[in-house]
Amino acid sequence: MSTINTASGASAATSAASTSATTKANEASDRFLKLLVTQMQNQDPLNPMDNAQVTSQMAQINTVTGIDKLNTTMTSVNTSLSQMQMLQGSSLVGREVLIEGNKVNLDSKGKASAGYELSSAATSVKIDIVDAGGAVVDSITQTNKASGRQGFEWAPKEGMPTSGLSFKVTATSGTKAVTSTPLMTDLVNAITTSNGALTLELSNGGTVAYGQVKAVS
Q: What is the dihedral of CA 205, 207, 210, 212, to 10 degrees?
A: -90
95 in Cβ contact with 188 (< 8 Å): yes
pLDDT in tens, 142-194: 999 999 999 999 999 999 999 999 999 999 999 999 999 999 999 999 988 87
Res 82 pLDDT > 50: yes
The topology under which CATH files domain 96-216 is: Immunoglobulin-like (2.60.40)
- Give me the residue spans of the domains in the chain: 6-90, 96-216
Q: Which residue has the higher pLDDT, 72 or 213?
A: 213
Q: What is the reported pTM?
A: 0.62
